[in-house]
Structure 1
Amino acid sequence: MNFNLCSIQDIVQEYAEVIAQVSGVDVEVVDEKLYRVAGTGLYAGGVNQDMSFEGYVYKHILDTGETKVIYNPGEDILCFNCPNCSNCKETIEISMPIKVDEEIIGIIGLVGSSTDQRDLILQNEKLYLEFINQIAYSIAAKASDQKEKESNLAVIAILNSVIDYTEQGVLIIGKGNIITRNNESAEKQLGISTLKGKTVEIIYTGDELNNISEYKITIDNKELFIMGEVHPLGIRDDQYASLLIFKNSKTIHSDLYEMTATLKTLDAKNIIGSSEATKTLKSNIRKVAGSNSTVLITGESGTGKEMVATAIWRESDRRTQKFVAVNCAAIPESLLESELFGYVKGAFSGADPRGRIGKFELANQGIIFLDEIGDMPIYLQAKLLRVLQERTITRIGSNQVIPIDVRVIAATNKDLKDMIETKKFREDLYYRLNVIPLSIKPLRERREDIEELTDYFIKRYSSLLNKPYSYIERSTMELLKNHMWRGNVRELENTVEFMINMMESDGVLNDKTLPVDFFEDVSTEVVISNNPNIITPLKELELREIQKALNIFGDTTEGKRKAAASLGIGLTTFYRRLEELSNK
């Protein structure tokens, strides 16, 4: 391990002087390279000299690792090659290795130069050897301590260099939980400008997500949740007890959001359409955007409920925070709870063993959009109600209560009041969600928007598909404007995309570019032709009158009762006819 006796030369010299005083002989200590580190008497003036040219006994010690006593210097076989062999003035010599874990790091040499010194050592040889052995052990311990200290200093230097270049927050914590070192990222993530010298309390919450432990830390009476790991440093230094490497939970949430967010968003002003219904909708979006109240968006499938939700987000003071969308109908019922609220490591069989952050936690400080809320199972509705009331969540498998600040926007294409009557939707949850109701009219009720939307989609898909566009024939535009559009804006978009694909090189959109099923649906058009030679089917007339009644009385349960009465039919018959016609 390259122990260096020179790094503790003063200490070695002190030990050499102690041996000399006790033994009454001269003492020298050399390192593993045979440089004299310390010396007394005859050797005091030769400290730091190279002894390799004459240290034949020492070389033997380095080879064998054994203590050697030369009783007759100059006559021993190890002395034959020494240049002073024939003129040796030494009367006795003791050489003992200094070892650390069986590695020889130096040698202690005692040299007697008189008969009296020789006799003294021989009379107490065993005692001298034990004494020198203890000194060798002490020097080895000091060398080990110095090596550890040097290693620690090297580690500390590396730590100090590395932590400034990592994006994660780093705290070095010393005795008494005092922060002794930190990087700039730690200050940014914790929102505290000066961390060094402050006391930190770190408590493991028991939750693990993505194989990372969660901790609650307290600094200056400020509580924060972080994801990271605490590493004991094992350095015998009061300033370097442990190392905390972490990311603020908010930072992790933002990272996950950036990985998953693929939303296309619009401001209210960019919502396409000039009909009165669309103008009213845009005006209402601006009015409610600044509030934190829950919004319930209703409308048929394909009307753009998510677009309205994102417009509210973009117009609100949460626009810089996250918008997290969850389609309650697209996620299996058994997984929806864990998707919304998350779970910790080992929460249930079949779960990701690393745990997962839920969508509510991910949306903290921002907006969560619960699309197709009518498809949420009844048992989960109770938990959602509790979240809306208490503004806290608990991950599956955890006892930790997490406060959240999330604005909820829900959407559905179902009649939730009807579902309440059939016990499929909780009435208390409905009123929690329906604080601000926004209704999106179907495209057939705002036909003034069709031409603008068509022009928008033509420009979009001609660019995406790299197909030059010239114009659309007026008769074709009229067909589009008078179509039923049961799939609303989504169906119109798909139709235009198909037309662009079918468009010839002249760039003209006409009836030939329309999909075949477009004409198959013409018999159920709501708009009635004024041509006296065209007969309108009764089914079409029936649907038109049902739709007219709904427009007058509204799409609510009470409105449907009035609509049925105005048509002279029972409510059950009204529902059956409406379902039959809607499925055509």
Structure 2
Amino acid sequence: MAVFAHMQEFVQAYAENIADVLGLDVTMLDENGVRISGTGYYRDLVGEPAPDGSFFRMILKTGQPGMIYDMKKNEAECMSCKFLHQCKELATIGFPVFKRNKPVGVIGIIGFSAEQKDKMIRNSDKLIRFLHHMSTLLENKIISLDSACQIQEETVPQRAVSFDSIVGKDSGLREVIVKAKKVVNSISTVLIRGESGTGKELLARAIHYESSRRGYPFIAVNCAAIPENLLESELFGYEGGAFTGAKREGNVGKFELAHRGTIFLDEIGDLPLSLQPKLLRVLQERSVDRIGGKQSIPIDVRVIAATNKNLEKMVENGSFREDLYYRINVIPLYTKPLRECRGDIHLYLHFFLEKYCKLLGRPPLRIEPQLEQWLVGYDWPGNIRQLENAVEYMVNMAESEVIGPEELPDYLLPPENRQPTSGSGGLEQMVSLYEKSVLQRYLLSEKYQNDKALIADELRISLSTLYRKLEKYKIG
């Protein structure tokens, strides 16, 4: 995979920020000569290879920076470019991006107008020094990501997960684990359905590591995180020379890497429609065809997919193939959101509290009882992932051995004096939001110690009215 494949958004934002600062257009190529970011005219060409023989490809090959002061004079650097006469550039500066002394990309500044061209010529020395600095920052970013990926690749095989190690195995996740245990050694495709943050990948890992495939790879692919133009080669691989910029030796896809093990296709609902027939064929034929390949490669892979989307509705509107839907939905498993298994919130709170006290070198902490009760009543739209982030934040912020409301992340609990903002809905909704925040404030206050009779008296409402409101807002 290309050096910049995991930082597409970063390099585009990088280019846009530079363009804003300099008032000039910016573009970047990866080590294969493919444009990975661009502003102005080049924004619409991201994902396309730069022309053979172009100035930037020469920089990529030689590792030497350069500048062309006047593209219209057909300078020697441009003579071999097949798009020489269609070129819209008036002036350009290019600087190689290195990775441990090897050119892996090019970052360039372009002038498309006479004003931009004049600005570049007047400030050429400064701009080349600036690009040198930017190139160094990019190299540091690449090496940093490489190190993180290497650590992840080294640790993932050790992340053996058993059903017994899953928090909530005896309560909220009990039913789904009972079903999952029955199919650990099946060849049938599993589809795990559930909201984001409900532990779908954790369940998939447990199925793999409890199965006879445990000694072979567990390969996780997030179908939503990989750019569409890279996803096909990432999943199925390619032969050398299959397309412009392809590695000479070709590339092994994730399905081949998962041979005799398990491939986990997360966010399967985000798989581009154009790739769905190829995935369907892989599932039916148990073989893959590399891009540019001349023969099918047999594979023995257990497929587990996951999604938080309504695939049935996607089938209806034509964004997900019906035949693929039936092929992956052989064994559906459902993970519940936290709001449907509130009894597990206590378990997760204490599990993550202990985890982050150890990781952050803090002495054992506990959560104030009234706050814990409120946390159990919170709906947790981000589910387990959001709850874990909240606990990590609170452990970082704690100033004593007892975590109180003041340690909550701002987004989680409205401040005591916060009122609903305008534009948040109609009057009825605004009043409800305010009423809920008032009740939460009283329940969390040490003064009232969760004494509902005292709270009702203070609010000048009957106790039965208070209970009715608490039930309405699912708090207390």
Q: Same fold (TM over 0.5)?
A: yes
Quick one: distance in 1 between partners of 2:348 and 2:379?
15
Q: How big is the shift at 1:260?
A: 8.3
1:432 aligns with 2:327: yes
Match in the other structure for 2:345? 450
Q: How big is the shift at 1:470?
A: 3.5
1:515 aligns with 2:409: yes
**Aligned residues of 1:469 and 1:508 also touching (Cα < 8 A):** no
Q: How big is the shift at 1:334?
A: 0.9
Q: How big is the shift at 1:352?
A: 3.4
Match in the other structure for 1:496? 391
The residue correspondences of 1:83-122 to structure 2 (distance < 5 A) are none
Cα shift readout 1:172-199 (whole Å, capped 9, x = no counterpart): xxxxxxxxxxxxxxxxxxxxxxxxxxxx
1:288 aligns with 2:183: yes
Q: How big is the shift at 1:512?
A: 1.5
Quick one: distance in 2 between partners of 1:333 and 1:543?
42
Q: Which moved more, 1:401-410 or 1:263-272?
A: 263-272
Quick one: distance in 1 between partners of 2:313 and 2:246?
36
Do the aligned partners of residues 543 and 413 (structure 1) sit closer, same or farther apart at CA in structure 2, a change above 3 Å counting?
Answer: farther
Q: How big is the shift at 1:365?
A: 0.3
1:321 aligns with 2:235: no
1:420 aligns with 2:315: yes
1:301 aligns with 2:209: no
Higher radius of gyration, 1 or 2: 1
Q: How big is the shift at 1:262?
A: 6.1
**Aligned residues of 2:265 and 2:304 also touching (Cα < 8 A):** yes
The structure 2 residue matched to 1:385, chosen from 280, 283, 298, is: 280
Quick one: distance in 2 between partners of 1:402 and 1:263?
28
Q: Which runs of 5+ in 1 are unaligned?
A: 1-254, 545-584
- 1:447 is aligned with what amino acid? R
- Equivalent position SS for 1:361: helix
1:347 aligns with 2:264: no
**Aligned residues of 1:344 and 1:398 also touching (Cα < 8 A):** yes
Q: How big is the shift at 1:383?
A: 0.6
Q: TM-score, normalised by structure 2?
A: 0.56
The structure 1 residue matched to 2:261, chosen from 354, 362, 366, is: 366
Greater fraction of residues in strand = 1
**Aligned residues of 1:373 and 1:412 also touching (Cα < 8 A):** yes
Match in the other structure for 2:226? 331
Quick one: distance in 2 between partners of 1:365 and 1:277?
32
**Aligned residues of 1:523 and 1:540 also touching (Cα < 8 A):** no
Q: Which runs of 5+ in 2 are unaligned?
A: 1-149, 416-431, 444-451
Quick one: distance in 2 between partners of 1:470 and 1:416?
43
Quick one: distance in 2 between partners of 1:275 and 1:515?
30
**Aligned residues of 2:213 and 2:260 also touching (Cα < 8 A):** yes
The structure 1 residue matched to 2:363, chosen from 468, 471, 476, is: 468
1:399 aligns with 2:294: yes
Higher relative contact order (CA 8 A, sep 6+): 2
Q: How big is the shift at 1:499?
A: 0.5
Q: How big is the shift at 1:309?
A: 0.2
RMSD: 3.2
**Aligned residues of 2:157 and 2:217 also touching (Cα < 8 A):** no
Match in the other structure for 2:271? 376
Do the aligned partners of residues 372 and 541 (structure 1) sit closer, same or farther apart at CA in structure 2, a change above 3 Å counting?
Answer: farther
Q: How big is the shift at 1:263?
A: 7.0
Quick one: distance in 2 between partners of 1:415 and 1:286?
25
Cα shift readout 1:523-558 (whole Å, capped 9, x = no counterpart): 49899998754899x9999998xxxxxxxxxxxxxx
Cα shift readout 1:21-50 (whole Å, capped 9, x = no counterpart): xxxxxxxxxxxxxxxxxxxxxxxxxxxxxx
Quick one: distance in 2 between partners of 1:508 and 1:257?
34
**Aligned residues of 2:169 and 2:177 also touching (Cα < 8 A):** no
Do the aligned partners of residues 335 and 368 (structure 1) sit closer, same or farther apart at CA in structure 2, a change above 3 Å counting?
Answer: same
- Equivalent position SS for 2:265: strand
Q: Which moved more, 1:361-370 or 1:512-521?
A: 512-521
- 1:380 is aligned with what amino acid? L
- Equivalent position SS for 1:318: coil
Match in the other structure for 1:108? none
**Aligned residues of 2:176 and 2:333 also touching (Cα < 8 A):** yes
Match in the other structure for 2:97? none
1:268 aligns with 2:163: yes
Quick one: distance in 1 between partners of 2:296 and 2:315?
30
Q: How big is the shift at 1:261?
A: 3.9
Do the aligned partners of residues 485 and 263 (structure 1) sit closer, same or farther apart at CA in structure 2, a change above 3 Å counting?
Answer: farther
**Aligned residues of 1:318 and 1:365 also touching (Cα < 8 A):** yes
- Equivalent position SS for 2:305: strand
Quick one: distance in 1 between partners of 2:301 and 2:433?
47
Q: How big is the shift at 1:277?
A: 3.2
Q: How big is the shift at 1:357?
A: 0.7
Q: TM-score, normalised by structure 1?
A: 0.46
Q: What is the number of residues matched between the two proteins?
A: 288
Quick one: distance in 1 between partners of 2:310 and 2:213?
29
Do the aligned partners of residues 402 and 334 (structure 1) sit closer, same or farther apart at CA in structure 2, a change above 3 Å counting?
Answer: same
Quick one: distance in 2 between partners of 1:333 and 1:480?
39
**Aligned residues of 2:219 and 2:257 also touching (Cα < 8 A):** yes
**Aligned residues of 1:341 and 1:393 also touching (Cα < 8 A):** yes
- Equivalent position SS for 2:191: strand
Do the aligned partners of residues 543 and 469 (structure 1) sit closer, same or farther apart at CA in structure 2, a change above 3 Å counting?
Answer: closer
Q: How big is the shift at 1:471?
A: 2.2
- 2:364 is aligned with what amino acid? Y
Q: How big is the shift at 1:264?
A: 3.4
Match in the other structure for 1:477? 372
**Aligned residues of 2:163 and 2:169 also touching (Cα < 8 A):** no
- 1:509 is aligned with what amino acid? I
Quick one: distance in 1 between partners of 2:394 and 2:351?
14
**Aligned residues of 1:381 and 1:429 also touching (Cα < 8 A):** yes
- 2:402 is aligned with what amino acid? V
- Equivalent position SS for 2:361: coil
Quick one: distance in 2 between partners of 1:335 and 1:491?
30
- Equivalent position SS for 1:486: coil
Do the aligned partners of residues 517 and 257 (structure 1) sit closer, same or farther apart at CA in structure 2, a change above 3 Å counting?
Answer: closer
Q: How big is the shift at 1:326?
A: 0.2
- Equivalent position SS for 2:413: helix
The residue correspondences of 1:175-190 to structure 2 (distance < 5 A) are none
Quick one: distance in 1 between partners of 2:274 and 2:472?
39
Q: How big is the shift at 1:287?
A: 1.3
Do the aligned partners of residues 510 and 484 (structure 1) sit closer, same or farther apart at CA in structure 2, a change above 3 Å counting?
Answer: same
Match in the other structure for 1:222? none
Match in the other structure for 2:382? 487
Quick one: distance in 2 between partners of 1:514 and 1:436?
39
